[in-house]
């Protein structure tokens, strides 16, 4: 018997079926060890020795693997086909060697790009050794992220209160978002005019032509910049004679794009489906690991962490055959289409993301997938099959028109196109029953227009426009930009974006990324004092070096030595920094944010309250704010806005926003922003009732109804049935709560505070008391369904929680997929979800207790390139990088 080690228990079960009784397939549940979240885990003074730690959950799994290997004929390492997968195999092998269980048993490394029987058996027939250069690249990347996180973040904490932490790639991604915000703030709109004419042919057909030249001078988008010039041109065109100068019809071919890479899939899923990068990878992981299709579990897509755009030869043949079968022979190009990547520093060259079977159309698997899985599979299938289809044939017609008046001339142009053969476009629309594309499909067809014929003017339009600032990044466009610059790698994008959100450096509104004031402060600080380490070229060059390590072209420790020498010197230099130096630099770097222009034109750096003091950034316990130099005589303060401006505290600057009147007291309800954030207020004066906005609520969300609900807190829920004393619900310093007779119990959200009834309040309080004086949080709600015992002991149940139904096993809670009926969950599905959740948590569910002083440094090492299946960076007990695989 041979022991096969994979990462996921879902994969283990499927692969065991493929291999049969001669193999025992076990799951590592991602990484089995990692750098402990403490100083000294990477030791530059000892040539970057790395001290690894195996947590208790991984120790148990490694014991199971070691016990199985003892009685086996050999070991086969079959983790994922990328850098992280190679590293997991290396860790497992190293631990087994230390346990002395291998002896002279053969060890093989196999990789497969899809979880299908053919792919797995082919991989088993072609084993190789562990790719040591790929492991070295992992070690270098892991060490770099640790060293940056554990050394740069403490500088932020000391010099910039309120900052969370910094990471190697995360900081550069944040700079991209902040730089775009700077561009928007500095943007000055410019006026321009578009001019066109509605014309009619001798046959009575109308069409529109746009102005392209005047008196021989070419007219571009911003050529006509004022109403006077536009009016003069319009007046000339109103009385001009029009004739067709030329008509040119030219055939154009439109080619399909390549199959998806990780980056392009995330971009497409964001723009077309509204998925976040993290959600895309979660759904893709499930499609890759396998779906139960009529009693057989099979992977529907190939491996989803890749920047390769090519498909395997057999996949290309299968795609072409499927095209012929589903669309017709005309849709199959003469030769297979071959693609090459344009991504800077592309590496880990696997296949592109594609269906494992092109004959398995979205309609055929619809009943086996939930809504999100179907949407993503449909996207991948269409892109994959379209990549091997014939070009679309389009006829593009260009009509040049001459307008003349008393020696004055103007040129106009009309362009139309007609799809003569839809080609690959057919994959994206409803399929035709006969498989053929129609010849009369059209888009923007022009009427019949002949050269030299006269045209009748119907109307001349001159419309005023203004240039617009560059758009804020969305997740999709930021990933695209990072890929273009060579920053990060496919497996890091989702984790990087999630980190920025978790640390509240970036907020998302209407799918656009807006830098929070604390994010802009961090970026300004790093640009001022760690310039090189947030430069795009430097980060891209470092990525290129890491790629050369994986190719065996560079020594990984020499790369670390070169990096550490300069980085450590920069860290040491900051010890001499005084807070005044930091504030002076930030005042200049963030001048548009800190000192926004005033409508009256007065100096924005002079205090409006006292008239003599100078305004400047100040650093307080809760972060940065703007204050007056005449403090304490002048107590004017102003918070930095999360939306790029500055908002004044009540009584000292910008006017409060009126929301309406309290229907009971008739007092004015206002939305204000103070030093500690936005809040709502009823009435005026020292006795006015105030309430801060709860977590998750932004000023743009607040209306009169929400404000009244906050100002009504604490609210009485009802008398406790045993004591007769009142239970109240409110919002406090530590979040939402219920209170009874001096006992507080936490609630999950502000919505719970506003809606909780007496029965649930009593239950929550009872659960809190049952945990004793040290108990925190809430016990699990009543079970919706009893599943039975877990193989490792302990009951498995389905419960209903804040985010919907979930599977509970001990301290592991795994959310059910959207739309999944809690009563229909099988034990197999429950075990898979539990394993996936445990893997994401590094085998240890997070405990809601305060981290010891040393452990707080773990946040620093929670860098963007650390393994992404990790606990949130905002959790106090987060590790430097959890022992799990990237997502």
Write out pLDDT tens, residues 223-236.
999 999 999 999 99
Reported as a pLDDT band with limits 50, 70 and 90, residue 742 is confident
DSSP class of residue 470?
P
Active site residue 533: no
Q: State the pLDDT at residue 23.
A: 94
Q: State the pLDDT at residue 623.
A: 67
Q: State the pLDDT at residue 185.
A: 86
Q: State the pLDDT at residue 430.
A: 52
Q: CA 733 to CA 695: how far, in whole Å?
A: 11
Beta carbons within 8 Å of 698's beta carbon, 6+ residues apart: 507, 509, 642, 678
* 681-722 pLDDT, tens digit each: 998 877 788 888 887 787 778 889 889 999 989 999 999 888
Reported as a pLDDT band with limits 50, 70 and 90, residue 295 is confident
**Given a cut of 60, is residue 853 above it in pLDDT?**
no
Closest CA to 506 of 671, 644, 645: 644
The residues facing 393 across adjacent strands are 253, 421
Q: State the pLDDT at residue 858.
A: 36
Q: Which helix (H) or strand (E) holds 520?
A: helix 517-529
Structural domains in the chain, sorted by start: 2-130 (3.40.50.140), 139-185+474-580 (1.10.460.10), 191-255+392-466 (2.70.20.10), 269-386 (1.10.290.10), 715-770 (no CATH), 783-841 (no CATH)
8 Å CB contact between 113 and 81: yes
8 Å CB contact between 303 and 81: yes
Q: State the pLDDT at residue 392.
A: 95
Percentage of the chain beyond pLDDT 90 is 45
Q: CA 742 to CA 745: how far, in whole Å?
A: 10
* 9-54 pLDDT, tens digit each: 888 888 998 998 899 999 999 899 999 888 889 999 999 999 999 9
* 772-830 pLDDT, tens digit each: 554 444 444 667 787 887 877 788 888 877 557 888 888 788 888 877 777 778 887 88
Residue 552's region, left for phi above 0, alpha for psi from -120 to 50, else beta, is: left
8 Å CB contact between 149 and 860: yes
Residue 714's region, left for phi above 0, alpha for psi from -120 to 50, else beta, is: beta
Q: Using DSSP bridges, classify how beta strands 795-801 and 506-509 pair: parallel, antiparallel or unpaired.
A: unpaired
Q: CA 480 to CA 495: how far, in whole Å?
A: 15
Structure tokens that stand for 259 in this block: 């199959």
Q: CA 306 to CA 546: how far, in whole Å?
A: 16
* 749-764 pLDDT, tens digit each: 888 888 888 888 888 8
Least confident segment among 85-94, 369-378, 424-433, 621-630: 424-433
Q: What is the pTM of this model?
A: 0.69
Q: CA 861 to CA 41: how far, in whole Å?
A: 11
Least confident segment among 99-103, 205-209, 468-472, 790-794: 790-794
Catalytic residue among 18, 303, 331, 505: 303
Q: CA 84 to CA 558: how far, in whole Å?
A: 21
Q: State the pLDDT at residue 502.
A: 83
Structure tokens that stand for 682 in this block: 């009823």
The three-class DSSP label of residue 138 is helix
**Given a cut of 60, is residue 431 above it in pLDDT?**
no
Q: Which helix (H) or strand (E) holds 883?
A: none
Structure tokens that stand for 771 in this block: 């945990």
* Three-class HEC string of 190-251: CEEEEEEEEEECCCCCEEEEEEEEECCEECCCCCCCCHHHHHHHHHHHHCCEEEEEEEEEEE
Q: State the pLDDT at residue 850.
A: 37
Higher per-residue confidence, 381 vs 796: 381
Reported as a pLDDT band with limits 50, 70 and 90, residue 621 is low
Q: State the pLDDT at residue 860.
A: 40
Reported as a pLDDT band with limits 50, 70 and 90, residue 442 is very low
Q: State the pLDDT at residue 622.
A: 61
Reported as a pLDDT band with limits 50, 70 and 90, residue 654 is very low
What is the average pLDDT across 384-407? 95
* 474-524 pLDDT, tens digit each: 998 999 999 888 888 877 888 888 888 888 889 888 889 999 888 888 999
What is the average pLDDT across 627-652? 62
The pLDDT mean for the chain works out to 84
Residue 48's region, left for phi above 0, alpha for psi from -120 to 50, else beta, is: left
Least confident segment among 115-124, 338-347, 406-415, 632-641: 338-347
Least confident segment among 236-240, 384-388, 643-647: 643-647
Angle in degrees, 0-180, between the axes of helices 517-529 and 170-186, rounded to the nearest 10: 110
């Amino acid at each position: 018997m041979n022991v096969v080690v994979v990462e996921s228990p879902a994969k283990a079960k499927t692969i065991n079926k493929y291999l049969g009784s001669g193999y025992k397939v076990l799951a590592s549940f991602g990484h089995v060890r990692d750098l402990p979240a403490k100083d000294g885990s990477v030791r530059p003074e000892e040539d970057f020795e790395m001290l690894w730690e195996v947590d208790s959950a991984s120790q148990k799994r490694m014991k199971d693997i070691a016990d199985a290997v003892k009685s086996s004929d050999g070991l086969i390492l079959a983790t994922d086909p990328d850098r992280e997968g190679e590293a997991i195999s290396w860790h497992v092998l190293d631990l087994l060697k230390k346990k002395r269980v291998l002896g002279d048993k053969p060890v093989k490394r196999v990789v497969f790009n899809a979880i299908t029987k053919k792919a797995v058996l082919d991989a088993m027939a072609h084993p190789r050794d562990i790719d040591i250069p790929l492991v070295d690249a992992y070690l270098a990347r892991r060490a770099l992220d640790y060293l940056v996180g554990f050394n740069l973040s403490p500088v932020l904490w000391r010099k910039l209160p309120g900052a969370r932490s910094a990471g190697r790639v995360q900081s550069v991604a944040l700079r991209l978002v902040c730089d775009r915000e700077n561009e928007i703030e500095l943007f000055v709109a410019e006026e321009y005019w578009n001019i066109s004419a509605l014309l009619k042919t001798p046959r009575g057909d109308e069409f529109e032509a746009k102005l392209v030249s005047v008196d021989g001078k070419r007219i571009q988008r911003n050529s006509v910049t004022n109403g006077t010039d536009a009016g003069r041109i319009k007046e000339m065109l109103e009385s001009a004679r029009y004739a067709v100068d030329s008509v040119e019809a030219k055939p154009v071919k439109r080619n399909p794009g390549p199959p998806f890479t990780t980056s392009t899939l995330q971009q497409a899923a964001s723009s077309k489906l509204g998925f976040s990068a993290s959600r895309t990878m979660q759904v893709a992981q499930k499609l890759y690991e396998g779906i139960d299709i009529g009693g057989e579990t099979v992977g529907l897509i190939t491996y989803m962490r890749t920047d390769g755009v090519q498909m395997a030869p057999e996949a290309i043949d299968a795609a072409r055959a499927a095209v012929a079968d589903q669309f017709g022979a005309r849709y199959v190009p003469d030769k297979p289409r071959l693609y090459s990547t344009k991504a800077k520093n592309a590496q880990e060259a696997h296949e592109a993301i594609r269906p494992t079977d092109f004959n398995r159309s979205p309609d055929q698997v619809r009943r086996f997938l939930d809504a999100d899985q179907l949407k993503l599979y449909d996207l991948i299938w269409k892109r994959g099959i379209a990549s091997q289809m014939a070009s679309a044939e389009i006829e593009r017609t260009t009509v040049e028109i001459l307008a003349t008046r008393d020696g004055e001339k103007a040129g106009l142009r009309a362009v139309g196109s007609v799809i003569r053969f839809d080609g690959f476009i057919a994959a994206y629309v409803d399929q035709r029953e006969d498989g053929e594309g129609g010849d009369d499909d059209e888009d923007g067809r022009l009427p019949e227009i002949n050269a030299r014929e006269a045209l009748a003017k119907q109307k001349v339009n001159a419309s005023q426009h203004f240039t617009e600032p560059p758009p804020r990044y969305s997740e999709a466009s930021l990933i695209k930009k990072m890929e273009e610059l060579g920053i990060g790698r496919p497996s890091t994008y989702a984790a990087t974006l999630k980190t920025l959100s978790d640390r509240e450096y970036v907020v998302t509104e209407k799918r656009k990324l807006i830098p929070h004031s604390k994010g802009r402060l961090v970026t300004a600080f790093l640009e001022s004092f760690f310039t090189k380490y947030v430069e795009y070229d430097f980060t891209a060059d470092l990525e290129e070096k890491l790629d050369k390590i994986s190719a065996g072209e560079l020594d990984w420790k020499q790369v670390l030595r070169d990096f550490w020498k300069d980085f450590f010197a920069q860290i040491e230099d900051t010890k001499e920094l005084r807070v005044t130096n930091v504030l002076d630099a930030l005042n200049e770097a963030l001048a548009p944010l800190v000192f926004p222009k005033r409508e009256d034109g007065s100096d924005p750096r002079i205090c409006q309250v006292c008239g003599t003091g100078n305004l400047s950034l100040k650093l307080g316990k809760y972060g940065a704010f703007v204050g007056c130099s005449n403090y304490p005589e002048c107590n004017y303060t102003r918070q930095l806005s999360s939306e790029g401006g500055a908002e004044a505290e009540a009584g000292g600057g910008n006017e409060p926003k009126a929301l309406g009147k309290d229907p009971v007291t008739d007092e004015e309800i206002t939305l204000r922003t103070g030093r500690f954030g936005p809040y709502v207020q009823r009435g005026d004066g020292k006795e006015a009732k105030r309430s801060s906005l709860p977590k998750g609520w932004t000023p743009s969300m607040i209306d009169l109804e929400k404000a009244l609900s906050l100002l009504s807190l604490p609210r009485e829920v009802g008398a406790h049935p045993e004591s007769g004393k009142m239970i109240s619900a409110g919002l406090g310093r530590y979040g939402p709560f219920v209170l009874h007779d001096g006992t507080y119990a936490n609630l999950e959200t502000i919505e719970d505070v506003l809606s909780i009834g007496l029965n649930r309040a009593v239950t929550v309080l009872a659960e809190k008391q049952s945990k004793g004086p040290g108990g925190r949080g809430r016990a699990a709600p009543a079970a919706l369904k009893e599943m039975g015992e877990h193989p490792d002991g302990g009951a498995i149940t389905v419960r209903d929680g804040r985010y919907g139904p979930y599977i509970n096993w001990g301290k592991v809670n795994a959310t059910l997929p959207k739309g999944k009926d809690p009563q229909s969950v099988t034990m197999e599905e429950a075990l898979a979800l539990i394993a996936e959740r445990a893997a994401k948590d590094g085998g240890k569910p997070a405990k809601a207790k305060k981290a010891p002083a040393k452990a707080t440094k773990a946040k620093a090492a929670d860098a963007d390139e650390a393994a992404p299946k990790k606990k949130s960076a905002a959790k106090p007990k987060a590790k430097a990088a959890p022992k799990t695989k990237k997502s």
